Amino acid sequence: MIIVRIIPPSPLVNLTKMEKLLYEASLEGNINILLMLLQEDPLILDRVTIDRHGDTPLHIASMLGHVDFVNEVITRKPHLAMERDSQKRVPLHIASAKGHVEIVKLLLSANPETCLARDRDGGNPVHLAAVKGHREVVKELVQAQPHAARAMVQQDTILHLCVKHNQPEVLKLLVETMDDHEFINTKDADGNTILHLAVADKQVQTINFLLLNTTIEVNVTNTNGETSMDILAQLHRDLFYQQIMQSLTRAGAVEANTRGSRRQVPRASRTNTGFDRILEYHTKPTSLIYLKEEQPEKEDWLNRKRSSLMVVASLIATMAFQAGTNPPSGVWQDDDSSHQAGFAIMAYKHVTLYHIFLVCNTVDFVSTFSIILLLISGLPFLKHKVFLWILMVIMWIATTSMSITYLVSILVTKPTPQSKTFKQVAGGIVLVWIGLMTLLVVGHTIRLIAVATRKFQNLVLPRKRTIISPVGNWA
């Protein structure tokens, strides 16, 4: 079977020799070749523009930052500044996105109206420069055409784009230049102001600027009836969360509920929702329903318990492995008629105690290793308290086995294990341990009985649960 690969033609295919030279000159920014071609054919720039629907030489030079080449073309053919490529972009779009300030000035001098030109996605050169963070370019464009900054892109203002793409310096420039209360508080398709978006993305610098230097409305709600404080309540609580909380509280921000009343602090942390750094982005926070009886600290408590169990289980498993490979009294170092090298000395000298040691140490190792495997498995049922309680019971068994292993090791290595003092100490330790284990078992048994009784009562006499703050779905 013969496979035929079709290679798409390059931009220079089907061009005349002079046109190819013109494109090469635009790639290199070679003015000498441009002047030579114009001398031979004064209409070559117009001819290439008419025959081609992709990038013109002016687009290419604007993208690559060839200032002198652009200046020469604009001086001779200023109308080429309005020519569009396949994406409906004029050369000013390209230069603005790339941040070439000098080329932007040249293109604006040829035709300031190009600042209002829209590409296929609806963006004008000011939008592209703002998204890319080119502050000086934005400054030049806004001075040339102030109305260009007020154009909307898919119901987003240029201020929304600055926040979504995390461009605080450009945002400051635009806010200070425009100084428009209504424009600053404009909402996007989901009813979010720029403060909503900045809080959701934890942009501390932007939030402080908006609260201290603008007339942003801190308690305005979006289409789901949420204020900026409601958005903050959905985020993970970290250092940024605390800083934003302090700033919003000082500014008088409050949280809104479904009845229209206000509460000063969020009741629970909610799922953090990030922002995609693309032009077509629309905010989609996760919808959650919070019940009055739920405690936000429950998940943190379970996580701490699981972490503690993992640490203790790892430590005990290490001790059990070490004791198993290197038992008390060591191993024989040579072969003899009564023993073999490498075998445990205790297995020959203290047969009964060695069996007890081996059983308890094995139980110890298997129990803790099972806990480690379960905790790292990520199984969903391990997030429930009842299974965490089962793991704690297994840990009790492991610690009890470890204690017996320790006692056997002391009996084997002590010169006079039958002494009265040793028996008293060992007996006291056993009594204390039995008492502690009894206390734990009784305490947890009473607790489980109480929980079971309460659940049975709720089942027989169910109580109506109150929904505090429903958050609607964001499509």
Tokens of 348: 């020959």
Position 436 confidence tier, pLDDT thresholds 50, 70, 90:
confident
358 has pLDDT over 80? yes
> Burial, 439: exposed, middle or buried (Cβ in 10 Å; 0-12, 13-18, 19+)?
exposed
245 has pLDDT over 70? yes
311 has pLDDT over 60? yes
Position 268 confidence tier, pLDDT thresholds 50, 70, 90:
very low
Residue count (the chain) = 475
Higher pLDDT, 239 or 342: 239
Among the listed residues 173, 252, 177, the one whose alpha carbon sits nearest the alpha carbon of residue 220: 252
User: Within 10 Å of residue 466's Cβ, how many Cβ atoms?
Assistant: 8
Share of the chain above pLDDT 90, in %: 37
Where does 10-151 sit in CATH, by number?
A: 1.25.40.20
Predicted confidence at residue 167, as pLDDT, reads: 94
Per-residue pLDDT tens over the stretch 156-173: 999 999 999 999 999 999
Q: Where are the domains of the chain?
A: 10-151, 152-286, 297-330+340-460
282 has pLDDT over 60? no
The gap between the terminal CA atoms of the chain, to the nearest Å, is: 49
Location of structure tokens 């659940």 = 455
185 φ, ψ (degrees, to nearest 5): -95, 15
DSSP notation for 230-275 = HHHHTS--SHHHHHHHHHHHHTT--EE-TTS-EESS-SS-------
In contact, 33 and 25? CB cutoff 8 Å: yes
Predicted confidence at residue 216, as pLDDT, reads: 92
256 φ, ψ (degrees, to nearest 5): -105, 140
Tell me which H or E stretch contains 28. helix 17-28
264 has pLDDT over 70? no
In contact, 285 and 474? CB cutoff 8 Å: yes
Location of structure tokens 């391990």 = 382
Per-residue pLDDT tens over the stretch 119-161: 998 999 999 999 999 999 999 999 999 999 999 998 899 999 9
Tokens of 30: 């070679």
Tokens of 287: 């919808």
Tokens of 325: 């490979």
Position 287 confidence tier, pLDDT thresholds 50, 70, 90:
very low
- What contacts 24+ positions apart, CB below 8 Å, involve 345-351? 346/412, 349/412, 350/411, 350/412
CA distance 316 to 318: 5
In the predicted model, what is the mean pLDDT of the chain? 78
Per-residue pLDDT tens over the stretch 71-116: 999 999 999 999 998 889 999 999 999 999 999 999 999 999 999 9
With a threshold of 0.75, does the pTM exceed it?
Answer: no
258 has pLDDT over 60? no
450 has pLDDT over 90? no
3-state class (DSSP) for residue 179: coil
Predicted confidence at residue 374, as pLDDT, reads: 80
Higher pLDDT, 384 or 315: 315
Predicted confidence at residue 221, as pLDDT, reads: 92
14 φ, ψ (degrees, to nearest 5): 65, 20
In contact, 81 and 50? CB cutoff 8 Å: no
Predicted confidence at residue 378, as pLDDT, reads: 67
CATH topology of domain 152-286: 1.25.40
Predicted confidence at residue 220, as pLDDT, reads: 92
- CA–CA distance from 29 to each of 23, 33, 68, 76 (Å)? 10, 9, 7, 16
Predicted confidence at residue 164, as pLDDT, reads: 93
Predicted confidence at residue 382, as pLDDT, reads: 61
Among the listed residues 121, 109, 45, the one whose alpha carbon sits nearest the alpha carbon of residue 83: 45
Position 372 confidence tier, pLDDT thresholds 50, 70, 90:
confident
Predicted confidence at residue 11, as pLDDT, reads: 45
Burial letters for 66-89: b for 16+ Cβ neighbours within 10 Å, e otherwise? bbebbbbbbeebeebbebbbeeeb
- CA–CA distance from 228 to each of 194, 222, 237 (Å)? 10, 9, 15
468 φ, ψ (degrees, to nearest 5): -85, -60
3-state class (DSSP) for residue 272: coil
Among the listed residues 350, 196, 215, the one whose alpha carbon sits nearest the alpha carbon of residue 273: 196
- The reply to whether domains 10-151 and 152-286 share a CATH topology is yes
Residue type, 89: R
Which of 64-73, 87-96, 288-297 has the lowest average pLDDT? 288-297
Predicted confidence at residue 115, as pLDDT, reads: 93
